[in-house]
Amino acid sequence: MNLADRLARIKEPQTIQMSKMARAVQAEGHDVISLSLGEPDFATPSHIIEAATQAMHDGYTKYTPVAGMPELREAIAKKLKRDNNLDYKPSQIMVSTGAKQSLANAILSLINPGDEVLVPTPYWVTYRGLVELAEGTVVEVRTAKENEYKLTAAELEAAITAKTKAFVFSSPCNPSGSVYTHEELEALVKVFEKYPNIYIISDEIYEYINFQGKHFSIASFESIKDRVIIINGLSKGFSMTGWRLGYLAGPENLVNACDKLQGQFTSGANSITQRAAIVALTASLEPTYAMRDEFKKRRDYVVNFLEQIPGIEIDMPEGAFYAFPDVSKYFDGEEIKNSEDFCLMLLNEAHVSTVMGSAFGEPNCIRISYASSMEKLEEAMQRIKKILDAKRRF
């Protein structure tokens, strides 16, 4: 079969790829601990499940408006005001089947062939795939480990060209866990103020998993707010990965474009999930913060453990649920040439699944998800230490 050329422009996300490989090793009879996917191990809070059950009994089982139920768009607007002090009308909000679809809607609605999209490293794997699907050009902007992999104003300005159409980033960041402060965002905003034709796509899906305090959105700066597109969803903060509910907030003309696009793909998101999302966003956030606190304990354990392994260089992440150590001292040019070889070694010999840093634009690192139980994390860390003690040649 002659498939479409566009498929050659994208690859399967390495996060999903590594998960598949882990399942294959497990099928061979090995006890594999998967630390590759970013999926909270907590159950969805009971009040959200009860809301979904009630929604079915109440007859919310039909098609919904493409952009989302009016009550949910209103709830999202209120959430943005409550948590972020941002003023958005429901008409500026678009509901989708997961934050990934929200990102796809935004990028496919904005990017033309040849447009450049700035993406600071490290970045979530799907940013590149979606830009390439839109026939845009990804411009990786390298950040420094010494700056916690956060982009500086000078690095941003040096990367901008006449072809730059958009900028995509996340805070808290997947995979580094870095969180931009208000002052750091303000420095980037001063650069964007000079270039009024650049759109800023701000992925804030890990907003609630922030260990340093208040979350700051780049949309809070009025001078550029009309060019900011916020991407968020319920998967991480509410442990609702399988429910598939994401949303976008931004300029009304972009929302209308996304509505048009999504209408040809999936139409409206799941009706039952939308009713449950209204409750999730308007009820107490106590269960969310309890999950955050548990993630912090896991972070402290994993990072402190890895710091004790010779040759591992790691910073303390301030958000999300990933550790992103530099493992390049273990590259020997033979058995372990790069981060991909390193991850395959951990999978095949330690039976621990991780993701190579090259997938995120940082080839010296690997991503370890600590969105797993403490028991599994403790066993995984012992396995990693044992295999690295045997491999170390320095």
> Over the stretch 319-370, which tens digit does the pLDDT of each residue have?
999 999 999 999 998 899 999 999 999 999 999 999 999 999 999 999 999 9
Class of domain 5-43+287-391: alpha beta
* Topology match between the domains 5-43+287-391 and 46-282: no
| Residues above pLDDT 90, as percent of the chain | 91
Q: What's the angle, vertex CA 106, arms to CA 210 and CA 281, rounded to 5?
A: 45
For the whole model, what pTM was predicted?
A: 0.96
Q: What is the dihedral of CA 147, 150, 154, 155, to 10 degrees?
A: 110
Burial call 155-181: b when 16+ CB within 10 Å, e when fewer: bbeebbeeebbbbbbbbbbbbbbbbbe
Nearby residues of 133 by Cβ (< 8 Å), 6 or more positions away: 6, 9, 10, 104, 107, 108
Q: Phi and psi dihedrals of 365, rounded to 5?
A: -115, 170
Average pLDDT, the chain: 96
Q: What is the dihedral of CA 44, 48, 53, 55, to 10 degrees?
A: -140
**The listed CATH number (3.30.1310.10, 3.90.1510.10, 3.40.640.10, 3.30.9.10) that belongs to domain 46-282:** 3.40.640.10
Q: What are the pLDDT digits (tens) for 200-250?
A: 999 999 999 999 888 999 999 999 999 999 999 999 999 999 999 999 999
Q: Compute the distance between CA of residue 152 and CA of residue 176 in angstroms, rounded to an integer.
A: 16
Domain boundaries, the chain: 5-43+287-391, 46-282
Q: Compute the distance between CA of residue 333 and CA of residue 321 in angstroms, rounded to an integer.
A: 31
Mean pLDDT throughout 87-111?
98
Q: Would you state the structure tokens that stand for residue 207, as one six-digit string?
A: 């907003």
Pairing between β-strand 137-141 and β-strand 355-356 as defined by DSSP bridges: unpaired
